[in-house]
Structure 1
Amino acid sequence: MIEIEKEAPDFCLKDDSGKKACLKDFRGKWVVLYFYPKDNTPGCTKEAEEFTRKMEEFKKLNAEIIGISPDTVESHKKFKEKKNIKIRLLSDPDHKVIEKYGAWKLKKRFGREYYGVMRTTYLINPEGKVAYAWKNVKVKGHAEKVLETLKKLNK
């Protein structure tokens, strides 16, 4: 269970270019760590586009945006190229990090139960501690909510 004001669990995953990225690499910066179900789906595309549009505002606040899904490195690369996504995307095909952060949940759709990614976002402070969490995120306006929270915490 991820707790506010506690150390965020470290991890290392490959990014959309195939390079290894670890959470500890971002010490000294705020990190917006968001988990999403699947590349190239309407909600996930909208979420990535909203974060991309606000990326410069996040950078001014010393924040890095990182999206994680079970998709492959190649899928992330194609998704970014096709939709002009500028944020860093990490691949977690075994969903180990997704599970560690409590975003792998039992879901229901059309009467069928299955496990998948529940949209979840964490704001991690420059010391590596969880400052804020959003569970079961609704995409529309979410990037703005995260930005507003970051502005308040950054004062």
Structure 2
Amino acid sequence: MSDIIKVFFMNFINDLDNLLIITAIIRKYGYTVKTLFLYIVICLTVSRTVYVLIIHSFVDLPGLRLITGVIILCISIRLAWSFEKNKRVKIIPNISALQMMLIVIATDFSICLDSVIITAELSSNPLFIAIGVLLSVSTLFYLYSSFTDILSIPHGFN
């Protein structure tokens, strides 16, 4: 039970910035997080659990943290430049929900490597990892949805 709590809090705290990036990408393609909430939670829980199980065997490789840090830095710079070029948010989705989920998973893969490495060090039980990630991802997206509703942020979760 303590592993679930550790995984939950670590992912919850570490994923606050990831949440903003993922929601910005979802809005960019004309979707709202409310309509995709269940899909997002399931996809991110399954994919992150698989990432942790895979990375668990590679945690002790020398230089792994340095390499993942450089990858995250490169991806974040690329994402920042791509948002500058196309600042418009589409109102009508122009891709399928499946394609949107694949984009969310790919984006999450590139920005959650630090969380995955830390989670792999916290627990090796796939069930505890999945439950902790499920709780943190669903809580984050739910809270973000509530805040955008309260603040009436345009193009948030309408």
Structure with a larger share of its residues in helix: 2
Q: TM-score, normalised by structure 2?
A: 0.25
Larger Rg: 2
Whose RCO is larger (CA < 8 A, sep 6+)?
A: 2
Q: TM-score, normalised by structure 1?
A: 0.25
